[in-house]
Structure 1
Amino acid sequence: MASPWRLLAAGLLALLVSGCQSLPNPVGDADQDTDPALGLEQHSSWLEGEDLDSDSEQFADVWERMRAGYQLQDYIEVNPRIEQQRLWFVSNPSFIEKSSQRGSPYIFYIVEQLEKNNMPQELALLPMIESAYNPLAYSRAHAVGLWQFIPSTGRHFKLKQTNWYDGRRDITASTRAALTYLQYLHDMFNGDWLLALASYNAGEGTVSRAIERNQKLGLPTDYWNLPLPKETRDYVPKLLALSQVVASPEAYGVKLAEIANQPYFERVAFDHRLQLNRLEDMAEIDEGELARLNPAFKQGVTFDGPKHLLVPTDKAELLQASLALLKPEEQLNWQQYKVRSGDSLHSIANRYHVSVNSLKDLNGLKSNHLRIGQALNIPVPPGFKPNQPLHQVTQTASSSRQYRVRQGDNLWSIAKAQRVSVNELKRWNNLPGNALKVGQVLRLQGGQVAVVTNSSAGKPTQYRVRQGDSLYLIAKRHKVQLAQLQRWNPQASKALKPGQVLTLYLR
């Protein structure tokens, strides 16, 4: 005869299953691009409540604060599945160490959001399992970001996805979406966080069907006894084991990154379309830091996304002041160009003074092939009118012509003047490298020779970068716009090195 405790447990399990069966249609497996369940809207605003009173300042660092908010430790008993995962972490301490360092700008924010909503602080470690705290992580199932949202689930949570911006990579937006989803799953499975976590990994449809199967067979329907995919069977033990290691890192020989119990970043509102690397120059922010905090701007341009940036707290005030002083002509505009018959990426790039690679990156092009009527997005300074014809004399050339190299010429300047690509010049003349000799004769094939007599671009001038130079200082010194200097030298947009040669078009 079954004991009273066994009968009580069976009754509770039956209630759990009946509750699951009455829920909205379940999501498909997490590795399938399916529409998420209905009914999430009721959770969509719960994260936006007022801050809760907290004694958070008492903690020495964010890890101590996280440990104080653990809620899942009662699930941990002598369990071989947890032991196996803990052994892996202890055998690979560098994984935790590197992941915690990578996540150091984001962890305080996640811990704070969990605390505001009384959710288990163990969930702050979930991005370490999902993506190793890499907001650029991309899976075979097309899941993206810290929290690994697939496209359809991201769209359901209003995480915008375009060629310019992907909200799944947005640190704050994706975190809010993930916590909303996790809270929904927690409510769906009657307050069972282990079933909620399993559903986050495999999809609530997979977990609900596993519960129903076990119920029909008279088997236990708790997480540990469900027939789930191997990845999901390891997923929850992995998180629980990781939480144990983080609880006592010294005991396991692991060194966590030092993370202060204070905000790493704050929001700065803007109303401009600007390049992140230019904003870094304006606010004296370390190179690449804005991209690390704002990885959702896929092309490094504040376009097609929210009107705010995450900025290191110690630089926010300076950036706000710099943006307030920004002149209209210093802002970056965008034009759309429709491909016409005879156009090529090289000719369009020359017309707008940008590089072919920049055009391809900005428009998500995987090849040089263009279609007539295709729309291309191109960055231009205010007032720039590329569709106005240049003042030039054009002479028709024969199918084969020649050009004699002069002092100061290089392959790029010759290709630009002759409306051809550098690769074409090298191919036509069997050039293994970029070196040219004065007097050397180059073969040109077909097309037209454009002799510019009054180009609005000005005369090309070379400038050698000196110690202490920045793009902003060079632009100011030569009285050109920073956006122009960046367009003329796209290869120099990331960093400058003494001795590097830049091209300027000075009138």
Structure 2
Amino acid sequence: MVFPAFSRSLRMLPLAGALLLLAACSSGGGTKPAATPQASQLYGQLDRASKGYETALAQARAGNAQASQQTLNTSLDQLQHASALCPSTPGCDPQRFFAVFDRLLRLKDGNFDFGDDLSAMGNDLPEGSEAGKTGAASLPEAQRSVTLLRGQQLSQLIAMNGPVKAALEMWLTQWRGNLMDAYVNYQFLRYQMWPEYQKQDLPEALLFGIMAKESGGKVHAVSRSGAAGPLQFMYATGLRFGLNTEDGFDSRFDPAESARANAEYMDEQLKAFNNNLEVSLAAYNGGEGRMRRLVGDNTSVSLYDPTIYNQLSQETRDYVPSVLAAAWLFLHPESYNLRFPHVDGAPGNIVLKRPASLTELTVCLGSAAGMQDGWFRTLRNLNPRLDPQASQPAGARIMVPKVLEKPYQARCTDGPWPILANDLHTAVLPIVPSSPPPPPASSPRSSSVSKTRSYVVRRGDTLTSIVNKVGCSSVQEVSEMNELRHHQIKPGQTLKLPTCR
């Protein structure tokens, strides 16, 4: 026998409401005041409630349902009472209550071996299987590692976690356009990216959440820090997971390769942090070394524990709930008055009947298949190795959504549209005479760069790695000095680099 799942869920609701009050009163970090005697008493209640909850779980597993229910009731009453008093108690840190409740949910979701926890995770198990007899602990490790993204459990977390609720509001308001763009971009890339996550038995919602936050599904996105691609790998981390440069192409921009590397990275971090998803996401954003130093041997610690949370950067504090919120909206848009557009992302290809660049194809395809924003982003995403301005020869194969195969034949092989597209693309800009350079000043100001030198690109080089060798320049400066398109380089190419004083 077990204590009823429905009763347990109802008892979670007032507790979630109390913790919502804590969220409104908690600060974003910084130095916390020392605990007063009154706060210390609340912390004592918190500790007793936490131990009582664990005892209730042990009693339930032992088959003592009546004692388990009584212990559970007492512990939840203690936790509800203490959390309600914390905001008005001097020196009480609400973040400690978030951390404890988060850990208790983890105990319930990851190790509870009966009731609604198993039904939420094991719907696809055959009737009478061993998993149905022994509980969630018998499910594959990867399934247990992502219970945060499973139905009721995440609903409970969102109900109590202020940062995730705030992120949900942002995605539904100020970031709504970004969310929609990310969804459309992902649907066309899904056939390349999702299989890589499936291989690691990771949830698709997690992939979407990371991609939505990192790049919005823009394959060629590059951050100021040098992170690149749809999932924003730093160069060194990308190399560790097989993302390198071949023939001048940085494979961080390859959707399938980027998804493979990301899935391998998340699998590695989930194992390192004992399936702690929030901490693993924080490692992806803030650095795995830093998270290992913060967490130490206590891999079950909540990300919202003040000893961890207060040492995170604001970027990482925002990043983790933003990813989880985007993942949750991906799974349950209807619960938030959200409707994603229908996208037919089936893959296809065309063989060019006449030379054309991706920009020319965009012009002649227009709003085919109802794409009001045009097809430029999708064509770029599906053909990351191609310069969108460079004309591709007749006979070249271009990856497109299948819904574009017929429009291409109808619009872009003959008639006025390809002629118009080519005319616009090959337009010659007027030559504007340049002004003569100013005479050198008698006392020139000192500069960190005095002259340039030549550098021959070697296999494996990227613009970021070359700039790092220079030490006094930037990717943008070197790109402009060499008139590079989209920061692309290739082995054997000679670059001009600044010489630093």
Task: State the TM-score bracket (shorter-chain normalisation).
Answer: 0.3 to 0.5
TM-score with structure 1 setting the length: 0.42
Q: From the two aligned structures, give the one with the greater helix fraction.
A: 2
Which is higher, the Rg of structure 1 or of structure 2? 1
Q: From the two aligned structures, give the one with the greater strand fraction.
A: 1
TM-score with structure 2 setting the length: 0.43
